[in-house]
Amino acid sequence: MALFNPLQVKEINELIAEIAKVVKPKDEIGAHDKMLLSALLKTHDPKKKATYFKCKREYSDAIVTHFVKEKGIAKSRFHKNSQAYIFIVK
C-alpha cells in the first residue's frame, strides 16, 4: 500500500466516512469508471444499482482495501485499480 502524507490521509478518511454512511454488509465495493460500469451493470444484472463517490485515482485502491479488509465488504468483480470513482452495488 502506498504511503500518504497527513493531508492525503485526511482526504481519504473523509471519503471513507462518507462511504460508510451508505454501505451495508451485503453490498459490493469497487472502483471503476462511471460510464463503463453503468453499461456493465445493465448488461449483467439490470436489477442492481450503483452509488458512486468521486475520488482521486491514487486513493481508490486504499479506500476499497479498507472496506474489504476492515469492514468485510465484498470486492466487486468489476473492480479496477486506480479509478476516479468508488462504487457501491446494492
CA distance 35 to 14: 24
Q: Residue 1: pLDDT above 70? A: no
User: What is residue 75's predicted lDDT score, i.e. its pLDDT?
Assistant: 96
CA distance 60 to 75: 13
DSSP code, position 82: S
6-48 residue pLDDT tens: 999 999 999 999 999 999 999 999 999 999 999 999 998 888 8
Q: Residue 2: pLDDT above 80? A: no
Evaluate whether 50 touches 88 at the Cβ level (below 8 Å): yes
Evaluate whether 50 touches 3 at the Cβ level (below 8 Å): no
Strand-by-strand arrangement of the 28-31 sheet: 50-54, 85-89, 28-31, 74-75
User: What is residue 46's predicted lDDT score, i.e. its pLDDT?
Assistant: 85
CA distance 86 to 83: 8
User: What is residue 5's predicted lDDT score, i.e. its pLDDT?
Assistant: 93
62-79 residue pLDDT tens: 999 999 999 999 999 999
User: What is residue 14's predicted lDDT score, i.e. its pLDDT?
Assistant: 96
